[in-house]
Structure 1
Amino acid sequence: MRIAKRAVLTAPGSPVEIWEGPVPTPAGGDVVVSVEMAGVCGTDHHYTLGEVAFPGPMVLGHEGIGRVEELGPDVNTDYAGEPIAPGDLVYWVPLKPCHRCHACTVLEDVSLCPHLSPGRFKDPLTPPIATYTEYASLPAGLSFFRVPEDTPPEAVIAFGCAMPTMLHAMERLGGISFGQRVVVQGCGPVGLAAVMLARLAGAGDIVVVGGPALRLEMAKRLGATETVDLAAAPDAESRIAAVLDATRGRGADVVIEATGRVEAFAEGLSMTARGGRYLIVGLWSAPGSSELTPRIVNNANLRIIGSALSRPRHLHQAVEVARHYHHRLPLAEVVSHRFPLDQAQQALDAVGRQETIKAVIVPGHQ
């Protein structure tokens, strides 16, 4: 039986610990993978700060690229029906719906399942499905998809959960029409995925509000036409003025919130044109509240759309995006920092300080 090291958060505010535990032989529809890269998401950092409900000691990480080590006897394909074998590279986000609730079966929207497993464990003998680990156990019912040999794994993990999240959000938005003006608040992986998808959809002007400079530069490489640096526009009034100037005083047809900061909500509404749409994607783990004047929404015919998580098809689409566009766009270069597993805390701290474009943990890296 394999023994795997795992990065465990025991309590908010406590440093991440490295635990060890066995990884059992897969049964039925289970799969064991060796983790090659685990994306470090801003939500992981929010867990360490206690800004997300903490379920107890948990293996961190919900973005994974790994190589199949062993298949259960019932497994011969991935969740798109593609043949799978030991040695193949796969991509997964460890959220397993129950398939036995109103959201899963009536709404047919597993992203709303109240029983999604976050990969936590309270017993060190329990195999993790999370990704800050040397080996992960993917249980039957947890979707994973094969990464084609012609696709760099960095091009997939660069956006981690952000690309499927944004694909889901764009679907809920109803798409972007050719030539529409778009503003993206934030330029972390979610914001960068939004920029890229807006450009591929045929958006006209794409203005990105965020920082630091290295992320804004990547936003331009992925399709932004103009950027507003938080360092140069430190208050909401100056940022709103910059956006209105960039959109000829009208505001944006589509504003996409990807900041993770609740104060961005009111600011984004002020950037939205009459008849426009405001898509909220980044506030999943943001504590706090914001005032809203309903009359503004009413009289300007605004649409406010929330979107959280994703569905299995969006993970598959994320692989296809990487496969078809990594030659044209610098997707793999979004991965700016790599850390070994025993430096998981340093990786989280670097993300919290916004020193990275995208950080990944490489368990086999020393």
Structure 2
Amino acid sequence: MSTGKACVLVEPNRIETWEVPIVDPEAGGALVRIVAGGVCGSDVHIADGGAGVMPFPIILGHEGVGRVEKLGPGVSTDYAGETVKVGDLVYWAPIALCHRCHSCTVLDETPCENSQFFEHAEKPNWGSYADYAWLPNGLAFFKLPEGASVEAVISLGCALPTALRGFDRCGPVRLGETVVVQGAGPVGLAAILVAAQMGAREVIAIDMHDSRLAVAKSLGATATVSLKSSPEERRRQIYELCGANGPNVVVEAAGVLPAFPEGVSLAGNHGRYIILGLWGAIGEQPISPRDLTTKNLTIAGATFPKPKHYHQALHLAARLQNDVPLADLVTHRFGIEGAVAALEATKAGEVIKAIIDPEKS
């Protein structure tokens, strides 16, 4: 049996490069050769143990674009009904849904109660820090449109589906509303892009890195606020831009716990606070419940985008790739054996978006 390389998290803070078997796809599945595996902030939390215990050992990576190597029996289309063949580029949602649980069939929600985010590294696997991904039956994948840029699609990997999921679940941005986004990493940049496309009057990005704030402006932010200033100064600047009533929508995309009480404070009267970035930050933060009542504030979280959000993200990225510098967000490439460096650079904020490129030595 032939093998390929994969980046395996054996336990927290212990990453190894393994040779793993390349397995033919099952009925309804596909085998793809990885072209680009996105490095996500969640991967950092998973690798350092901050996101909790995983079914170790696991192959890292849940964002991917790959080229179809083999299709399983019965597969002739992607999950949107588009004809698919060997050699086509595809992008996938990283959870195989069972369609036989309460979440899937009654609530029409994700995550699925019977699915896995990761598989044991010694079993057929869909982790994207690897040469190949084995996509099981039920794991939705979509063919890239003709002419779509791999870099444009992977640049906001799971971040763009996450932002779309957040606005879908918590309510879209209405024309002329004001939006504040805490954090200008990939999730924050995706939220900025979507809010701008939805017609927000003001889209204000908060971050500590000037380079990220510059990128936020290129994706549609109308103003930026530095995290280096005091909370009081940040609030003053934001309310000056939004007006006395404050922001209509605040999006948490910072991934750090202190962002939560600040977001509650920043949100305006009758506003919404959408929590997207705190999936991997386990802990508590104090807030005043009275603020929620007096502001008539809605707080909602969103996680695990549905397959439809990956499909929407793919086609939005392909449509905007010539008008918005999405491909330029990919600032760093690492080989499979460079995964530790990729995670460290992502954690340090040195990159806008890093990818694992199996062709890179």
What is the Cα deviation at residue 321 of structure 1? 0.2
In the other structure, the counterpart of 1:5 is 5
The question of 1:304 aligning with 2:318 is answered no
Residues 70-119 of structure 1: per-residue CA shift (max 9 Å, x gap):
1112100000000000000000132122322211111111x132333122
State how far apart, in whole Å, the 1-side matches of 2:38 and 2:9 are: 16
State how far apart, in whole Å, the 1-side matches of 2:322 and 2:189 are: 17
The question of 1:130 aligning with 2:143 is answered no
Contact 2:93 2:307 in 1 (8 A): no
Identity %: 44
State how far apart, in whole Å, the 2-side matches of 1:146 and 1:29 are: 15
The SS at the match of 1:182 is strand
Corresponding residue to 2:233 among 223, 234, 238: 238
Residues 233-277 of structure 1: per-residue CA shift (max 9 Å, x gap):
1x4333223222332343201111100011111101111111111
Residues 178-207 of structure 1: per-residue CA shift (max 9 Å, x gap):
111110000000000000100000000111
Residues 305-337 of structure 1: per-residue CA shift (max 9 Å, x gap):
111120010110011101211111111111111
Tell me which amino acid in the other structure corresponds to 2:336: L
The question of 1:198 aligning with 2:157 is answered no
State how far apart, in whole Å, the 1-side matches of 2:98 and 2:208 are: 38
Tell me which amino acid in the other structure corresponds to 1:27: E
State how far apart, in whole Å, the 2-side matches of 1:204 and 1:79 are: 36
In the other structure, the counterpart of 1:288 is 283
State how far apart, in whole Å, the 1-side matches of 2:29 and 2:2 are: 15
State how far apart, in whole Å, the 2-side matches of 1:27 and 1:282 are: 34
User: Residues 230 and 299 of structure 1: is their aligned pair in 2 closer, same or farther, counting only changes over 3 Å?
Assistant: closer
Q: RMSD across aligned C-alpha pairs, in angstroms?
A: 1.2
Tell me which amino acid in the other structure corresponds to 1:112: P
State how far apart, in whole Å, the 2-side matches of 1:77 and 1:36 are: 20
What is the Cα deviation at residue 2 of structure 1? 3.0
State how far apart, in whole Å, the 2-side matches of 1:140 and 1:341 are: 26
Tell me which amino acid in the other structure corresponds to 1:11: E
State how far apart, in whole Å, the 2-side matches of 1:81 and 1:198 are: 29
In the other structure, the counterpart of 1:62 is 62
Tell me which amino acid in the other structure corresponds to 1:61: G
The question of 1:218 aligning with 2:215 is answered yes
Please, what TM-score do these two structures have when normalized by structure 2?
0.97
State how far apart, in whole Å, the 2-side matches of 1:335 and 1:265 are: 28
Q: Which runs of 4+ in 1 moved over 3 A?
A: none
Please, what TM-score do these two structures have when normalized by structure 1?
0.96
What is the Cα deviation at residue 13 of structure 1? 2.1
Residues 109-168 of structure 1: per-residue CA shift (max 9 Å, x gap):
1x132333122315x2x1211101101100111000001121101111000000111111
The SS at the match of 1:86 is coil
State how far apart, in whole Å, the 2-side matches of 1:272 and 1:354 are: 26
State how far apart, in whole Å, the 1-side matches of 2:115 and 2:242 are: 40
In the other structure, the counterpart of 2:346 is 351
In the other structure, the counterpart of 2:17 is 18
Contact 1:118 1:130 in 2 (8 A): no
5+ residue gaps, structure 2: none
The SS at the match of 2:262 is helix
State how far apart, in whole Å, the 1-side matches of 2:288 and 2:136 are: 46
State how far apart, in whole Å, the 2-side matches of 1:137 and 1:65 are: 12
State how far apart, in whole Å, the 1-side matches of 2:198 and 2:97 are: 30
Contact 1:254 1:277 in 2 (8 A): yes
The SS at the match of 2:76 is coil
State how far apart, in whole Å, the 1-side matches of 2:47 and 2:18 are: 17
